[in-house]
Structure 1
Amino acid sequence: MQERFVKRRQRLVGPNSSTLKAPEILTGCYILVQGNTVAAMGSFKGLKQVRRIVEDCIENKMHPVYHIKILMMKKELEKDPALKDENWDRFLPKFKKKNVQTKKVKSKEKKPYTPFPPPQQPSKIDQELESGEYFLSEKKKLTKKWQEKQEKQAEKTAENKRKREAAFVPPKEPSKQDSNNSGNMEEDVAALAKSLKQKAKEFGKQKSLQNINAEEYISAPAAEQPSKKKKKS
């Protein structure tokens, strides 16, 4: 908290008191910063401006440089007599505050206080005594380690094999409905081709080709052929 206050106070003063001199010239007030106090002497209007600059800087609302820019614009507008009675808000710059996201310090959860120390963790020898490995010979220990290593390798090879075989899995076959739909479409196309061929043959058999309108004939349904009676010999 103290470091934050020192940074904001330094922001108000500026390097070599350059930021503090600008409000003094623009407001016509004498400003002094000492410790936690800001003292100012001058006219009532100038003191109001100084107070606003200081409060906005300490509360981190606006940088003093932006206030200095606004005061400079107001000084220029005061010189124009035509704009004396008008509102100057449209001429003044508008600054938007950008909130920079800071990293939040993770607070560690405090455990409840207990006067007793935590239980001692079992050592490697204690674990071997519990499992019975401590009493085994060196040869048996080596064989057991080798078996565990072989089991891990077998699991890893099986997993790698399963991953390799996954690339060769055949895709799912289309459902029966799709095959039925495709079969029906083929039958419709074949029936249409057959009817067109039949109409073309009938059209060729006609004697007077010039007087016949081909479009009306094709659109009309196919006429039934007369049944021929077989002559008895």
Structure 2
Amino acid sequence: MEAPKRKKERAAQGEEGKEGRDGKLEGKKKGKHDKPKPWDTPDVDHWKLEAFDPQWNEGGMLEESSFSTLFPQYREKYLQEVWPVVTSSLKEHGIKCELNLVEGSMTVGTTRKTRDPYIIVKARDLLKLLSRSVPAPQALKILDDEMQCDIIKIGSMLRNKERFVKRRQRLLGPNGATAKAIELLTGCYMLVQGNTVSAMGSFKGLKALRRIVEDCIKNIHPIYHIKALMIKRELAKDPELAEQNWDRFLPKFKKRNVKQKKVKEQKKKTYTPFPPPQQPSKVDLQLESGEYFLSAEMKAAKKWEAKKEKQEEVLAENKRKREAAFVPPKETKRIDKSSDAPEQGSKAVSKSDMSAMTESLKKKVKDIAASKGSTDTKGVDAYLAAPGSRKDSSNQKDKKDKKKNVETPVSEEKKKKKRKVTLED
């Protein structure tokens, strides 16, 4: 119980301090080093980067330091053309450079004339950018103090190559529209090349650009970040909102549930401590069938017979397929119309159905006649007569029509003769 009390006492003594012999506070004290700085005035901008003055380091560098970078073979021709410009720009800062085409490497190193100690790091970044297909006029801007570079490695973020290519293309957009929008909003230069994204700009812009690139490869579209950056750009113009939280103005995007493929549950097999029985080998099967003891000639003859049987089966199957085209189709049987049961559509109507229909029709006609006040129902009986009687009546009508047709031409001939006689007279 005494240990915690001692800790509290020590903490209190550390905060308040201990009084020494002179009565002054000794030991730890909060804000001990907070002393007034006469050079630190409100008009000083602590974030401003001042240009390096060679007078700050007149003695130069004590030791020589160098950096080397490999470049791909397809960049060899371009680097040969541009190397004189790179050499002259590095020479101004007291840096030597070398292009080795045999090894495929570029080297930079300090000299006695080098004054700026950080320029060698800038020269190293220049080599990295040149090897990653950044044009020389753009890459040489890295030698300025305000310009920084960042090489974002995106190749190891995804395993699936097709997905990686598709998401990398999102950074560029149609005709490079998305990349142009990102460059304008972040104030950085961006180049997508292979498995890396080379970026150049301020620290603030590079931080925003790295986040956009990494989220794009993680399947978050760059348009969401572009919208947020556009809103922030407008909010920054208002001085009243400088010290306020901007989360209420920024858009909030909800994640949509995408249907995923259902994983098939594999049924667990029952555990058995005993291994499965050993399958018979080829020699065992030959021993069982007796083939093992046959001579080479007999084996060859047996193999040939099996092959011949298989060929015969195939030939027979092909012949059957060819002959199938010449087999005539089955003829459908015609239904005799002179049958007692008349047809209604495709189905034959039975006699019982016909009698039921006639009775129902008679009833209907009687009802109609009763309603009109007449008792004539003979027409219905004549209409609903048996099919045989109908045929007889129809035959009689046909005979009468024929007689009339025969008689008419005779009468016409007689009339013509009479006319001729009258004309002669």
TM-score of the superposition, structure 2-length normalised? 0.25
Higher strand share: 2
- The structure, 1 or 2, with the larger RCO (C-alpha pairs under 8 Å, 6+ apart) is 1
Higher helix share: 1
- State the structure with more CA Rg: 2
TM-score of the superposition, structure 1-length normalised? 0.44
